[in-house]
Amino acid sequence: MPLVRIDLPDTTPDEQRRAIADGVNAGLVRGLGMPVDDRFQIVRSLPVESFAYDRHYLGVDRGAVVFVQILMVRGYSTETKKATFAAIAEELEAVGVRPDDVFVAVTENGPEDWYAGRAGNGTAA
C-alpha cells in the first residue's frame, strides 16, 4: 500500500493530471506487483514558479518535471525498485511525459508505521 504524492505544474491540463496519476499507479502495479486497486495518491498542482530544479542534472535535459514521492514499506530489492522506476517512466511517456521529466523518490518504513483506519482495529496496518 504505497502512499504516493505527485506534484505537477498548474499548467498541466486536468485530463493529463489524471492520466499521470493512472500511469504512476500502473507503473507501481507492474514494478512492485501490487494490486491495481491498492491505490493511495495525492496529486497536487502548484504554480510553475514553485518548482526549482537543475534542468541538466546528470546530463539530462529537463523541461516540465513531474515529481513523484513514494512512501512504502521496506523490503523491495534494488532490482525491483529499478524496474518500478522504469515502469513509471514508460507509463508516463505513454501519456505525454518525457522520461527525462520524471523524478521519482522512494522513502521506506516498516509496517508498524502505518495506520489504515479501523481495518487494523486501531493498530498499525
Report the pLDDT value the prediction gives residue 97, as an integer from 0 to 100: 96
Could you list the residue range(s) of the whole structural domain that residue 94 is in? 3-120
- Residue 15 located in a structural domain: yes
Helix and strand element counts for the chain (H, E)? 2, 4
Q: What is the pTM of this model?
A: 0.90
Which one, of 73, 63, 66, lies nearest residue 43 by Cα? 66
- Residue 14 located in a structural domain: yes
- Residue 48 located in a structural domain: yes
The CATH code of the domain that includes 88 is 3.30.429.10
Task: For residue range 8-37, list pLDDT tens digits in order.
Answer: 999 999 999 999 999 999 999 999 999 999
- Residue 125 located in a structural domain: no
Q: How many residues does the chain have?
A: 125
